């Protein structure tokens, strides 16, 4: 198994086990927290289907080129995986696990099956991807549509970019609080994103205090302070 597949597989198994161990109310609470995001995703899908459906169908699907799925290791956030597990049937999760255990899929994404993507709700990076050819073809004569698409890209940040409490960060925090970690938790692992969060916390502590990430951030700040003290005492 490639290291990419292994990371994805480990995260999938861990999320599946955790979700299976939740009580009905806890699981329902997590699913409810997805409402706004799922409405956003539906709106993006509708937009793409309306304006890009025929372009992509002709250029990629009929020819089975699926050019946007031909990267070897697509970036998935930990939260993408959690959301997908929460929405999937056990059979769908089995299929993902099985495909990750197989050897590589040539130059195609490992998740690309015979009938398309195997995810119930594909990763956000994929959902918002437009190739240059499609983008230029559709937007060239229609600047209002391009503006609408830019607005969608901005809106996406309300779920993924941690300059405020966001769903993708919260979902990671829930698992970390339960003692689970994964290299795919970029919102807790990436030094750049942690800095964005700490800056946001300084600006708006009130908003963060209501979110699941607050304790984690406080933990990070305390750790930083302890490290600083240690260094100073050492000197």
From 20-28, 112-120, 199-207, 209-217, give the range in contact with ligand SF4 by CB under 6 A. 112-120
Identify the three-state secondary structure at position 117: strand
Candidates 126, 200, 213, 217; binder of ligand SF4 (CB under 6 A) is: 126
CA distance 50 to 40: 15
Looking at beta carbons only, is 81 or 165 nearer to ligand SF4? 81
Is residue 69 within 8 A of residue 112, CB to CB? The reply is: yes
Minimum CB separation of residue 88 from ligand SF4 in Å reads 13
Candidates 79, 82, 117, 124; binder of ligand SF4 (CB under 6 A) is: 117
In terms of Cβ atoms closer than 10 Å to its own Cβ (0-12, 13-18, 19+), residue 100 is buried
Residue 122 binds ligand SF4, judged by CB under 6 A:
yes
In terms of Cβ atoms closer than 10 Å to its own Cβ (0-12, 13-18, 19+), residue 196 is middle
Give me Rg for the CA atoms of the chain: 20
Minimum CB separation of residue 102 from ligand SF4 in Å reads 14
Is residue 52 within 8 A of residue 152, CB to CB? The reply is: no
Residue 111 binds ligand SF4, judged by CB under 6 A:
yes
Candidates 44, 48, 59, 74; binder of ligand SF4 (CB under 6 A) is: 74
CA distance 113 to 96: 10
Residue 112 binds ligand SF4, judged by CB under 6 A:
yes
E strand or H helix at 115:
none
Scored b (16 or more CB within 10 A) or e, 2-34 reads: eeebebbbebbebbbebbeeeeeeeeeebeebb
Residue 48 binds ligand SF4, judged by CB under 6 A:
no
Residue 167 binds ligand SF4, judged by CB under 6 A:
no
Residue 60 binds ligand SF4, judged by CB under 6 A:
no
Residue 44 binds ligand SF4, judged by CB under 6 A:
no
Query: What is the Cα 116 distance to its own chain's centre?
Result: 19
Minimum CB separation of residue 111 from ligand SF4 in Å reads 4
Looking at beta carbons only, is 77 or 159 nearer to ligand SF4? 77
Residue 41 binds ligand SF4, judged by CB under 6 A:
no
Q: Which stretches of the chain bind ligand SF4, using CB under 6 A? A: 69, 74, 109, 111-112, 117, 119, 122-123, 126
């Amino acid at each position: 198994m490639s290291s990419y597949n292994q990371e994805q597989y480990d995260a999938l198994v861990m999320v599946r086990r955790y979700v299976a161990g939740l009580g009905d109310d806890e699981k329902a609470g997590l699913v409810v927290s997805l409402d706004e995001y799922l409405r956003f995703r539906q709106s993006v899908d509708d937009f793409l289907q309306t304006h890009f459906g025929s372009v992509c169908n002709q250029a990629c699907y009929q020819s089975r080129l699926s050019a946007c799925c031909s990267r070897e290791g697509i970036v998935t956030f930990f939260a993408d995986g959690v959301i997908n597990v929460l929405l999937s049937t056990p059979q769908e999760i089995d299929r993902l696990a099985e495909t990750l255990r197989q050897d590589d899929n040539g130059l195609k994404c490992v998740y690309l099956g015979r009938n398309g993507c195997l995810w119930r709700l594909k990763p956000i990076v994929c959902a918002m991807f437009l190739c240059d050819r499609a983008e230029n073809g559709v937007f060239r004569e229609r600047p209002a549509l391009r503006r609408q698409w830019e607005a969608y890209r901005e809106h996406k940040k309300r779920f993924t970019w941690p300059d405020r409490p966001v769903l993708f960060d919260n979902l990671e925090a829930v698992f970390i609080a339960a003692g689970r970690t994964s290299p795919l938790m970029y919102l807790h692992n990436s030094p750049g994103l942690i800095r964005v969060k700490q800056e946001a916390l300084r600006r708006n502590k009130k908003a963060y205090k209501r979110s699941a990430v607050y304790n984690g951030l406080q933990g990070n700040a305390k750790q930083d302070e302890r490290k600083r003290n240690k260094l100073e005492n050492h000197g």
